[in-house]
Amino acid sequence: MSTMVEDLAEKLADDTLKAMKHLNNDRFFMEVAAELGAASTTLEEAYLTAIRVRLAERKARAFIRARIESHQRGEPQPEN
Distant-in-sequence, close-in-space partners of 12: CB < 8 Å, separation ≥ 6: 32, 36, 43, 47, 50
For residue 17, the model assigns a pLDDT of 97
Query: For residue range 32-59, what is the model confidence (pLDDT) as tens digits?
Result: 999 999 999 999 999 999 999 999 999 9
Statement: the pTM of the whole predicted model exceeds 0.95: no
